[in-house]
Amino acid sequence: MTAIAELLEIGNELHARCLIKEAKWQFETATSSGFGQDDMTLSPTHHYTARFFFSRTLLESKEYQRCYNYLDNHEDLDDDDLSLFLLYYARYLAGEKRRFEKESEMTGNDDGVPLNEVANQELPALESALKDLRTEDVFLQYLLAVILDEQGKDDEAAGMFINVIYQLPGFWHAWAGLLRSSSAANVAEVLGAIGITGEPSEVADHPMCSLFLLHLYHRLGALAGCDVAVELLASNAKAAYGDATCIAHIIAQHAFNEQDYARTEQLFGHIAARDPHCLDQHALLSTSLFSHDELPALTKLAHQASLTNPMSAETACVVGNYHSAARRHGQSIKSLVRAVTLDRRCGAAWVLLGHEFIATKRVALAIECYRRALRANQSDWMALKSIGHAYDLLQLSTQAIFFYTEALKVRPSDGVTRAALADAYERLGHDSEAQQHRAMTKGLH
């Protein structure tokens, strides 16, 4: 089976289970590869029942509780893997819907920033039920991994995601789940488990693994200044997935981190040429345009994104950057609040919102936003350096030193942060440490 056929086959299974976000990624990667297989016929893989079609229709209509109650009244689901999955998935989505509704009612501040967090109350019971089921169904195992991940059980979630990966190595969202569960603290165990270090494994040679490593090393800051490593991993992924959009996006992220804004915008230009309504990673693109004062291009991007999908978190980030560039910080805050309300895990939106609160001299609120970004990614270099800067503004040099140091662990070549760290040491009277870091800034940018 070719890598593209594998993507499509898994996408077909995901679509049948209403895992739409996951299925979309599989199909988009396959059809954007340029390998000309977007007309491949996908055969039905299941015997679909009226019960399945009705319950799936309820899910698609967002009647999650009704779907769960309907399926829960049937006692013969053990031999119907699709309906059994929909039973548990509907309960999960019903809990998510109630969580979102409660969070929307609880802002706790005048700007409407959703700092109050509400847990999905269904997660503990779902975890228990799925563990008791001892299922061999890989998609139910994936759902269990997601549930563990959302409860902060990183090590257990990572183990379950790895189990799914060994069964379906071409399933990207299992790799993405492992990425969320990975940190500097457990990265050695993760790399060993998938065969990158230690004993080799079949998944280590899968092209999806190269894509995973690109994201993982980018997340941990290990690709700073390493263009050769990026090209090597990207070429491995391109051999299987061609010109897929997902590969262009991660290369663009690397270019942005290297402050190569022209390259970043060039890569997004290639994507827009073939898919002008794709909004993925537009928060990054708009920040690139903002960073070197490309207001006309940013204005055009904000207009296009708003026409394409005004209710997207990515669109809200673009519009927020547009208003910020025009010094309309109040309107920028409103847009970015919308972004984090739509997607609480959007670290980029939390960072941008923190920047706006710094600009309006509400430093304590900015710190809370940066902390939210760190929950999405503990190694978020921009969040770490920004929270250090915020503590500097409050003249809390000890706290500033801690976060500057953490930021430099992710990106040691950041001269601006190292100079700020030297200044913080100097304010505390630690002259030797200040001189040491100031000397290290030579040749850095």
The pLDDT score that the predictor gives to residue 80 is 84
Q: Considering the entire predicted model, what is its pTM?
A: 0.91
**Residue 426: exposure state from Cβ atoms within 10 A (0-12, 13-18, ≥19):** middle
* pLDDT, one tens digit for every residue, the chain (445 residues): 789 999 999 999 999 999 999 999 999 999 998 876 666 667 666 778 889 999 999 999 999 999 999 999 988 887 788 999 999 999 999 999 999 888 877 765 667 787 777 889 999 999 999 999 888 999 999 999 999 999 989 999 999 999 999 999 999 999 999 999 888 778 889 999 999 988 889 999 999 999 999 999 888 877 666 778 888 889 999 999 999 999 999 999 889 988 899 999 999 999 999 899 999 999 999 999 999 889 999 999 999 999 999 999 999 999 999 999 999 999 999 999 999 999 988 999 999 999 999 999 999 999 999 999 999 888 899 999 999 999 999 999 999 999 999 999 888 888 899 999 999 999 999 999 999 998 888 766 5
- Cα radius of gyration (the chain): 23
CB 217 within 8 A of CB 237: no
Helices (H) and strands (E) in the chain, counts: 24, 0
194 and 204 in contact (C-beta within 8 Å)?
Answer: yes
Give dist(CA 306, CA 218) in Å, integer. 29
Whether residue 410 contacts residue 381, with contact meaning beta carbons closer than 8 Å, is answered with yes
Please give the Cα distance from 223 to 221 (Å, whole number). Answer: 6
CA atoms within 13 A on the CB side of 352: 35
3-state secondary structure string across 356-421: HHHHCCCHHHHHHHHHHHHHHCCCCHHHHHHHHHHHHHCCCHHHHHHHHHHHHHHCCCCHHHHHHH
At 7 the pLDDT is 94
**Contact (Cβ atoms closer than 8 angstroms) between residue 283 and residue 335:** no
pLDDT score at 361: 95
CB 165 within 8 A of CB 193: no
The identity of residue 224, as a single letter, is A
94-132 CB burial, b ≥16 within 10 A, e <16: bbeebbeeebeeeeeeebebbbeeeebebbeebbeebee
pLDDT single digits (tens) 109-147: 667 787 777 889 999 999 999 999 888 999 999 999 999
- What CA–CA distance (Å, rounded) separates 71 from 152? 29
Instruction: Note whether 254 and 230 are within 8 A (CB).
Output: yes
pLDDT digits (tens, 9 = 90+) for 186-213: 888 999 999 998 888 999 999 999 999 9
Which pair of tokens denotes residue 222? Answer: 């290990």
Tokens 């706290």, located at residue:
399
Q: Which domains does the chain have, with CATH numbers?
A: 1-45 (no CATH), 378-445 (1.25.40.10)
